[in-house]
Amino acid sequence: MSTAPETPMKVLVYSDDANTRAQIRMAIGRRPAADLPKVEFVECATQPAAVARLDEGGIDIMVVDGEAQPAGGLGVCRQAKDEVYDCPPVLAVIGRRDDGWLATWSRADAVVGLPLDPMALAGALAGLMRQRRENRLTTL
């Protein structure tokens, strides 16, 4: 019997490319780790849509595509960290190892590179989900 909570955690996936969003969803799967709840995906293809969805609240984790156009995911991450109250943890997907400094500038909480490694992506997301869950429990 699983001890994972039943309420799904909402993961916002930001990328202008539908194929990239699908690859991220498939790599994460329905549940990135046995001790975590299922994931409910919310997809956004534009920066205004992603910011508006974050402003609505209820997002637990955001995954951003650093290669998104015209607004890159790292810029969207930085904007969210600066402007969104209780901004969820952000997982950045970067295309080049040299973009690591930019991911640091964006204040991303975790970073994975392309090509996507499903184990690395799911592991990074699981870590952020645990962090988010613990932060919520300590603020109750």
81 φ/ψ sector (left φ>0, alpha ψ -120 to 50, else beta) = alpha
Q: Is residue 117 part of a domain?
A: yes
Give the residue with greater pLDDT, 40 vs 3: 40
**Under a CB-based contact definition with an 8 Å cutoff, are residues 132 and 103 in contact?**
no
Judged against a pLDDT cut of 80, whether residue 136 lies above it is answered with no
**Under a CB-based contact definition with an 8 Å cutoff, are residues 82 and 101 in contact?**
no
Count of domains observed in the chain: 1
For residue 30, give the CATH number of its domain. Answer: 3.40.50.2300
Range 106-113, long-range pairs (CB < 8 A, 24+ positions): 106/74, 106/75, 106/77, 106/78, 106/81, 107/77, 107/78, 107/81, 108/64, 108/74, 108/77
Q: Is residue 109 part of a domain?
A: yes
Q: Is residue 45 part of a domain?
A: yes
Q: Is residue 2 part of a domain?
A: no
% the chain with pLDDT above 90 = 85
Pair of tokens at residue 96: 């080049």
Domain that holds residue 67: 9-138
pLDDT band per the 50, 70, 90 thresholds, residue 140: low
pTM for the full predicted model: 0.93
pLDDT band per the 50, 70, 90 thresholds, residue 135: confident
Q: Is residue 48 part of a domain?
A: yes
pLDDT band per the 50, 70, 90 thresholds, residue 23: very high
Query: In the prediction, which pLDDT does 1 show?
Result: 46
Q: Is residue 4 part of a domain?
A: no
72-121 residue pLDDT tens: 999 999 999 999 988 999 999 999 888 889 999 999 999 999 999 999 99
